[in-house]
């Protein structure tokens, strides 16, 4: 059983930057599975925004955040980071991290159903 805890969400202003963290514990060794970040705005579906494979060598982003979001992992600290630059009001959402323990190496899946373990989410609110 993998446990995930997100942190770092807060109220920010348009143009600010923010780093979200996803700390993992339990279950499989952290460095053996992919991690994805999803977000869910009020009244909308949860959607994929970024992912990183087990080694950190492969990343993927939804087109709408490319160039503003970056993702990294520190396997020694069992943590994945999502860096968000130039925040916009439309980035307002609850951000979730999730573990995909079935993905092969260098594969990042973008469908929520592929991820078995989820954190509780962290709220990011961007004021205009």
Which distant-in-sequence residues (6+ apart) come within 8 Å of 55 by Cβ?
A: 31, 105, 106
38 neighbors 49 (Cβ within 8 angstroms) = yes
Model confidence band, residue 104 (pLDDT cutoffs 50, 70, 90):
confident
How does residue 118 score in pLDDT terms, banded at 50, 70 and 90? very high
Let me know: does 24 contact 99? Beta carbons within 8 Å.
Answer: yes
| C-alpha dist (Å) from residue 57 to 18, 34, 51, 60, 108 | 22, 11, 11, 10, 11
In this prediction, residue 22 carries a pLDDT of 98
Instruction: Kindly state the average pLDDT of the residues 1-15.
Output: 97
Asked if pLDDT for residue 103 goes beyond 90, the answer is no
Mean pLDDT of the chain: 95
The yes-or-no verdict on residue 51 having pLDDT over 90 is yes
Give the single-character DSSP code of 66.
Answer: T
Give the whole-number percent of the chain exceeding pLDDT 90.
Answer: 86
Q: Is the pLDDT of residue 31 over 90?
A: no
| pLDDT, greater one: 85 or 128 | 85
């Amino acid at each position: 059983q993998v446990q995930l805890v997100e942190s770092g969400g807060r109220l920010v202003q348009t143009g600010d930057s923010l780093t979200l963290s996803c700390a993992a514990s339990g279950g499989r060794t952290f460095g053996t599975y992919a991690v994805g970040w999803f977000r869910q705005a009020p009244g909308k579906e949860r959607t994929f925004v970024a992912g990183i494979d087990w080694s950190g060598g492969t990343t993927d982003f939804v087109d709408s955040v490319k160039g503003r979001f970056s993702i990294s992992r520190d396997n020694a600290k069992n943590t994945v980071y999502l860096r968000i630059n130039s925040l916009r009001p439309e980035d307002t959402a609850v951000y979730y991290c999730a573990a995909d323990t079935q993905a092969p190496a260098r594969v990042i899946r973008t469908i929520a159903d592929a991820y078995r373990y989820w954190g509780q989410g962290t709220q990011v609110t961007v004021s205009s």
